[in-house]
Amino acid sequence: MQTLTQQLVSAGLGNRVLTEAQLARIVTGTRQRRYHLVNRATRAGEIHRLRRGLYVLDAKLRDNAVHPFALAQALAPGSYVSLETALAHHGWIPETVHVTASIAPGRKSLEVQHAVYGSFSFHPLAIQKGYFLELVERLQHDRQSMFVARPIRALLDLVCLRKIEWQGPGWMIEGLRIDPDNLRSVTAADIGSLRPVYKQKRANAFLKALAKELALD
């Protein structure tokens, strides 16, 4: 085991997503020494660089496999998992989703491709101030925290991102293959929680039409 890897495991950081600042607190000496130790551990396959300044130990050195949703939060702090990824997670769509898609604060989209951990995408949306995490839940998995949109929030995020116009329930049932029973599980409280969320008129019109379709308006 490489020197840096031993230090991280001994410090109880083996299961964490690690930042450059955390490495600096563990590795004594110069920045150049830390750089060489990180490179040696990376070449040995014991540490994986997610992106500049962000690292994770290999699965064989961790107590639990790192969850892609937790990685998404580390890659874009303040983001939450949504869109098709959250819909698949909740069992609302049957297809396997190969990209961990999230909504992120700010104005810039971001895509991260990693040979070991897969693909991640981050998308900004026009959200009213104070409502960014409306109907977003904090989940725990193997002591890893992650924020995931509830199904109806993920669906409306998708509507907002793709600029979908309401044309009846066909896009959801036939296009996304959402079971009508899942749509019927949406409550009036859910609709009410989402009404003040989006700045986009198209998303709000879709929400209003959906509420009428479900007899919740």
Q: Tens digit of pLDDT for each residue in 103-128?
A: 999 889 999 999 889 999 999 999 99
Q: Are residues 191 and 165 in the same domain?
A: yes
Q: In the structure, what pLDDT confidence band is assigned to residue 1 with cuts at 50, 70 and 90?
A: low
pLDDT tens digits along 67-106: 999 999 999 999 999 999 999 999 999 988 999 999 999 8
Same domain for 37 and 121:
no
Alpha-helical runs (H) found in the chain:
3-10, 20-26, 31-43, 68-75, 83-89, 151-162, 170, 180-184, 188-194, 201-213
Check residue 67 and give its pLDDT. Answer: 92
Report the b/e string of 172-190 with b at 16+ CB within 10 A: beeebebeeebbeebeeeb
The percentage of residues in the chain with a pLDDT greater than 70, rounded to a whole number, is 99
- Whichever domain contains 32, its CATH number is 1.10.10
Asked if 51 and 85 sit in the same domain, the reply is no
Same domain, yes or no, for 21 and 111? Answer: no
The Cα–Cα gap between 174 and 142 comes to 35
Residues 114, 86 within the same domain:
yes
Same domain, 21 and 78: no
* pLDDT for the residue 26: 81
Residue 177's domain spans which residues?
68-213
Decide if 79 contacts 149 (C-beta within 8 A).
no
- Burial level of 83, CB count in 10 A (0-12/13-18/19+)? buried
Same domain, 93 and 22: no
